[in-house]
Structure 1
Amino acid sequence: MLHGKKILLGISGSIAAYKSITLVRLLVKSGAEVKVVMTPSARDFVSPLTLSTLSKNPVLIDLFSEGAWANHVMLGRWADLFVIAPLSCNTLAKMANGLCDNLLLAAYLSATCPVWVAPAMDEDMWFHPSTAGNLATLASFGNKVIPVNNGELASGLTGPGRMAEPEEMLSLVQAFFETSENLAGKTVLVTAGPTYEPIDPVRFIGNHSSGKMGVAIAHEMVARGARVTLVAGPGVQVQAHPNLQVDYVQTAAQMYDACIANFPKTDIAVMAAAVADFTPVTVAEEKIKKNEGGLVIELLKTRDILGEMGRQKKAGQFLVGFALETNNEQAYARQKMAAKNADMIVLNSLRDAGAGFGTDTNKVTIYSRNGLEQSFPVKSKTAVATDIVDAIIKEFYA
């Protein structure tokens, strides 16, 4: 049941808005406190009076009403979960690009709780490349996309694009809150992104990591009730949350110092960052000028963050490493787990399509010291994060 849970329901302009009436009724019947925010166009499809009667709360539509300002910041912080159902193609595009021309979008952009979206559109719109791109962008922000159903559409066609049924969404919400407390009281350390090792004031040695995988894991840990410290390399984009502290670093040495400082008070550590293995011995104070003789840079091996944490690990702590391999993947992953005294290794392979740096998807195999070996197909990094955290929790509490 959902007693004491606060759910913000966003409704955009779509014929599927009629299903939101049933969803509100089911959520309230399950004990949730529900507030509804609508786009102006949603009023053409469903009555605010009906929704306010069922939710027992005023329905919010306008940023300004009768001279008063709707506090979208507090609205986004009030909820334990923000569900936008239906999500129209128009609102999807606005969310993906950070537009803010109505109260629903303002609440979304200031929300600190998990955000779920339930798309609803016709088949041709669903298959349009811009729709796929916008959904991938939302997923990369840490939002959960509820799968559409295949069925009769408003156009009379039959195909994908039909919004999930209210009963399906209720089950998903109930399952979310059942698992959202299984890391309550736990402290988690996550690393994400690349490190930049300076050569001179202009240039650096780095890699193509976007940090999306580590950020998705951090958000999933927060959703499970943990207090998370995320040590993030340059260029990593993170959605704010009260239980998420972000320490930004640039170099491998800075990431090492941040991790070693936080590790003693950590229950679970997930080292997802792509840390540079080498750093220049010297850094030029001025920009190095191009010359005909070329340039030789002497490199020094960086300190081993995962290995040092493995040496310091105490009873009750759980340490997870990542391995990105191009050959002999399984053997190298297991060797790394043993050598670093890690409890779990998440393996990526650059040979797998849809995996590796800079993508919105990933394909992983998880190995644990207890003998777990579990492979997953290509999924969004948000979905992969759920699989990884599920595996961690299972092993952590074993």
Structure 2
Amino acid sequence: MHIRSALAAFSGWADSGRRLVRRRLGRPRALDVLTALSCLAVMALDVPGLADADNSLDSRLEAGLVLTVSSATLLVRRRAPLLAYGVGLVLLGWLHELTLVQFALYSLARFRGRRAGVVAGVAYVLVAYALFNLPGWPVSRAGTPAEFLSLVVPIGALAVGVGIAANRQDLVRALERQRATTAVLEAVQAERARVSGDVHDFVGRELTLLTVRAEVLARRARGEPYEKDFEELSETARRAHRVLNEIIVQRGSDGAPTPGLDGLAALAEESARAGSEVGLDVDDAALRLSPLRQAAVYRVVQECLTNAAKHAPGRPVAVRIAVADGLARLTVTNALPASAPARTPVSAGTGTAGMAERVRSVGGTFEAGRRNGTYVVSAELDAGSGV
């Protein structure tokens, strides 16, 4: 149990450390610089020995310069990991230095995949063994072939294994990002389909009324000079309705039109039954907004109440809809809990994208985010007449 606790604590510290590094240093350039400096720091421990060894380096300065230039190849480890790998093998044969090639093996496995990492690891072991058997190698330091390989093989395998694991993590993160992007796109498309349905319902209703009214006026004007004008108006409205039916994708039988502001009271009651009181403050002028704008406001409030129930259960929600200077402004505010919930709420993370798409579909602007311990969603729409 103690071991498990220690491993869990270490994992938590490691995750916190990785998040801190990413936040402070950024990715990926700063991490490449950090990797090169780390490699140089490890190799710098060998500078005194390299300067004294029989390897054509006459001073510590020369040894330091060689190691600095060699470690600099890690700066391009993402685009050209083979460069650091090749230089690492040269250092292995020339200075008997193992450090750079280990960093290069990790980089190859991470940025070129498992196959490249395994092939490079096997080649590294074979090259190291061949170098060991060449005349001039420091046998006193290397020992027997078995002793030499017991050092070379585990280090290389570890570097390749960690690199492959990191590569798999990178692939998982990329897949998660792709899935999140796809979910957002699907949410936007779904909201556009709902907007299209609302357009069909609201505009189609008006065109139907126009058609009927024009036919009535045409009958009343029989024998009058403008009878034909009313008949043309009726036929034009009928054609427009047919075109609308052809353009707008039809929804299923359950595709009822989105309610307007008169549906907010039901939303507030439903939220109150779930434990979150909702304060509605709606200007009378807002009730004169067009059907599509009212539907947009309804959808935003509906999604905000759903999110508040997930992430801040039991906290009150304030909904304010004001109309002034030709603009309708919607503000939904809810207090955030002091601590994270014990269980992470199930959420696709696409609600905000859907709200933004709905508001922008009627020419409005949308913002959402944390503000002084609260979560605020605000939208601004043109309060003008029309659909």
Q: Structure 2 length normalisation: TM-score? A: 0.19
User: Which structure is higher in strand share?
Assistant: 1
Find the structure with the greater CA-based Rg: 2
Task: Name which structure has the greater RCO, CA cutoff 8 Å, separation 6+.
Answer: 1
Q: Report the TM-score, using the length of structure 1 for normalisation.
A: 0.19
Considering fraction of residues, name the structure with more helix.
Answer: 2
